[in-house]
Chains A and B, each alone.
Chain A
């Protein structure tokens, strides 16, 4: 077995020394991914320090959460992807169970009942976890069968996606529900569903959205849509966040105002400057270049994640790794697009930069899964 590994590693396109690969592989860690993630974490803490008004406490807490995430990632990576496949149904129903518990005894913040405070655990958002549980479950469903999937398999996949999404909608957290739906849909797309079906679905969504807006959407949701199209219809109310955020970004220019000099954020004109709108702080203080650096760091993670999914040995691993990569991308894109006014505002953190607990740990679970897929695939015995 070990000898076989050596043969494989000799062909390693990245040309690691045999000795190294051996060690890293034994630890189930993928060095390029780890390095990219660590760089991203460092950059995130650096931005957070300024965004929090030079509050070391906040930064220390975030660093601790990241450390916790690394431990979780390391632990997850130790388990082979095959065992995740086995446990997927249990994890899925456990997740559904948590969502039901949230509906019963959850804590409401900002209008959404999404937090769960269980005794002995820090409070967390089960809906965040579902962003990975759902693609994992769909990958389990479709990966166990030949791809491209048949229509009835796609249908059941949709049921797998719909159940937790509905529960999250009931929590009144439309943004997270959309993210969960998208994460599941990515698996179906990667599994090779027919383009005809994809295009038909897109048309269906486009046709259905006016009906949704007219008959289903709640007033605050309509308000967000209207504000997206014209922030200045209520510049001191609903449009305030996006206007101030755009002012911060635009005033940053190419090179930014310098670290700690972001007047918009330090004078509290940007709301949620530590969390969802932290990109505005970055753009104000480091300009377009700073944002480009962040995008570069994200790209390095994404490229490695894509490579891992391509190299995965079986369908489940491929679909899981591929969907995790796309969910990660979705996080990044939706947050950046929302802060810069390209998408309506939905509550969504900027991965590894925004202050947050559950979202950070969830991301690290995703990285752990990627590493698991990558480092165990070579030793998988069918």
Chain B
């Protein structure tokens, strides 16, 4: 009897230790991922120094590495994608969270957003290449610029479709957090729905919506395949939003498997380090803002 009791006690503590241990795994992973990237990109940082960020030439053949063109390309593409997608995301989140809340018609839009969110990035890229690129080419012809079809603008268009579901789902959640009694108080004073949205919902949900946009920015700059296929893969600082370019993620995807020298690989890994740091910062801020909102 006491023997089984002891045995049970022992397996109980083993079980608890196992649980605690596995909770470490995410810290260990995050820590070792960061450390690995720092160690592996060190040779490049040491060799290139500040010229990694100040130069504007990326030429692996003559061992000249500046990652500035890709940083510019990444920011231009993601921010343009946010500018295009935000009106749609906000409208959809107001529609789902306010106008069609609980109604049957909201199911259609929810299903549409779920489907869009489920499409793999490679398929967005392939579709973009075959369908969107010719359309953009026509458009560029029309406005009288070199009709390339590929470039930052096309990449941003694809990205904007990809991030709409993401921004919408976060914005909708925070819009739902707006207390019902404040809204009802405004209605009872004779406010129209538009006025409630403008004066109650938006001010209340502002920080959460901002966090949603920020988290979508994090999604956008890390997105690889769809961008790689339509951005045109040009390794210089883009002169316009229709110019071909490269983002940090797309240059890694394009060149990593073919990189021959150690310095070349190390420099590509340093791009991965920049991506990781950016994603950690953006996601931490975004999560923090949303967490505070829930506590409120």
Q: Does A pair with B?
A: no
Residues of A within 8 A of B (CB): none
Residues of B within 8 A of A (CB): none
